[in-house]
Structure 1
Amino acid sequence: MTIRDDHALAADLATEAGERLLRVREHLGYDDPGALRAEGDRSSHLYLMESLARLRPSDSVLSEEATREERLDPRRLGAERVWIVDPLDGTREFSERREGAEAGAADEGRADWAVHVALWERGRLSAGAVALPSQGRTLTTADPPKLPAYDKGRFRIAVSRTRPPEFVRKLAYLVGADLVPIGSAGAKISAVLTGEVEAYVHAGGQNEWDSAAPVAVALAAGAHASRIDGSELTYNQADPSLPDILVSLPELATSLLAGIRDLHR
């Protein structure tokens, strides 16, 4: 088993899960969003769990859709290798039509949702992939995206489209940035890596599966990724809560962390 194998597996699993989710959405449509979300979560979780059990039977798995008992399994905390997956990051966006889209259009669904597959190994994230199925791409540690150049001046911060933290509004004013609402956490972090925004700041509560895969790709690409106090993001903890995060182009990290500190004094 090589590191390359894990990179490739993460990318293959995330991409295939995403393609399956597109088929689920096409089959069920948008008339019953609750049923669409439930089936998307269920089917993608089962595919990832069955695939990892077959292909990496000695590894542990932490999934958003796991039961509480599965999440608290002490074997995970003692394992050297743990896959951290979010079978459907952005269930709300997955179940919604794109604004302005006509019913029945081939691309009527929202595109800002993702599938996350990451590998934590001996204390660090060693591989990961974020599939963006409706965008037709997968970002992976096998071939990290090249970070866009930062043209000094006003920049953009990705925030939640439904519950942006008030302090991020204040931070944007302080550092001279515009806010860009985007759906899922994976879509937001991916937007930093692809040049749609320059930073993502969140402090409204998350869990490890919300960020493990996109952070793995961000770090492989050379982006900054940390807690909002500048401390390291840690994974495979007994409590999977990881409530805040900052991902940005490396040139912006110092000013953003300084602004956050000023706002929290």
Structure 2
Amino acid sequence: MPAEVRALASDADHQLAAELAAHSAELLRALRACGIDDPDVLRKQGDRRSHELLAAELAARRPADAVLSEEGKDSAQRLGVRRVWIIDPLDGTREFGEPDRPDWAVHVALVIDGFPVAGAVALPALHEVWSTAGAASHDQPPAAAGPLTGPPRLAVSRTRPGPAAAQVQQALGAEPVPLGSAGFKALAVVRGAAEIYAHSGGQYEWDSAAPVAVALAYGLHASRLDGAPLTYNNPDPYLPDLLIAHPDWARPALDAVRLPPC
């Protein structure tokens, strides 16, 4: 990410991302505690109410910025502005509707000129918010600190691990760590619960913008599976693959996914 683009995000932008993610997390915790028996009703309410909260706050506090939300109607207007907030109001809707599962998240990211310069990922069930603001203020320990030994832990989908994860597991002898939402898997690397998250098979920009912003702020590697930079606010928000890794494991993981599958 160009340093001049990173510098365009203000301290207030970093703080706003963290604040909004925390507010949405509080709403979703309260909703989950309401005792709604039908999990589909709970999931739909979670998606809708979290989106409405985030969209209203951004409209009030950043009226000149555009918004791309998984739960909102897309508009070509966002392609003509430099600053776009990319949000996933409830990442891991399936897990949100399952009692006692913690692996769901809220994503809030600010993208400027295509780069995720500020962001926050809330893990509401754990009462944690990881953000670029926290990284800058050293409120949380750097995830990339310290040498690593032994085989890496690999965050994988609990329901449908993709071919990239299988290649990394086979090539590096990685230990799979099955988890739910994309944000929770990415944050497993930030939090030191895994060393690699390799995804293939399809995602959208809202699935990774905030996790990538946070991962980069904490000194981790984040790229496409071919090593290319991740860019956002494209006309088509489909972004099919992703690698987030501890720096010591980034090159081995990239080499592993370039091998032809058996």
82, 92, 113: which one pairs with 1:122?
113
Identity level (%): 51
Matched, 1:110 2:101: yes
- Corresponding position of 2:89: 87
User: Cα deviation per residue 1:48-102 (whole Å; 9 max; x = unaligned)?
Assistant: 00000000011000000012xxx1x2210011110000000000010102xxxxx
Alignment of 1:20 with 2:17, yes or no, is no
- Counterpart position of 1:236: 233
Secondary structure at 1:143's aligned position in 2? helix
In the alignment, does 2:254 pair up with 1:263? no
- Secondary structure of the residue aligned to 1:204 is coil
Give the residue type in structure 1 aligned to 2:153: R
- The CA distance in 2 between the partners of 1:126 and 1:2, in whole Å, is 6
Q: Is residue 175 of structure 1 aligned with residue 177 of structure 2?
A: no
Q: Figure out how many residues of one structure are paired with residues of the other and give that number.
A: 249
1:98-156 deviation digits (Å, cap 9, x = unpaired): xxxxxxxxxxx211100000000123111100000110110000122411434222111
Unaligned stretches of 5+ in structure 2?
Answer: 1-7
1:189 matched to 2:186? The reply is yes
Q: Which amino acid aligns with 1:208?
A: E
**Contact 2:106/2:123 (8 A) holds in 1:** yes
Alignment pair present for 1:3 and 2:10: yes
Structure 2 letter corresponding to 1:44: S
User: What is the CA–CA distance in structure 2 between the aligned matches of 1:76 and 1:136, rounded to whole Å?
Assistant: 32
* Aligned partner letter, 1:47: L
Matching residue of 2:5: none
- Structure 1 vs Structure 2 CA RMSD: 1.5
Q: How far apart, in 2, do the equivalents of 1:244 and 1:115 lie?
A: 20
1:249 aligns with 2:256: no
Q: 2:72 — aligned with what?
A: 66
Instruction: Check the 8 A contact 2:167/2:257 in 1, yes or no.
Output: no
TM-score (norm 1): 0.91
Q: 1:167, 1:263 within 8 Å by CA — same for their partners in 2?
A: no
- Measured in 2, the distance between the counterparts of 1:10 and 1:136 equals 16
Distance 1:2 1:178 in 2: 37
Cα pair 2:21 2:106 within 8 Å, conserved: yes
- Structure 1, unaligned runs of 5 or more: 98-108
Q: State the distance in 2 between where 1:155 and 1:95 align.
A: 30
Distance 1:219 1:20, change over 3 A: same
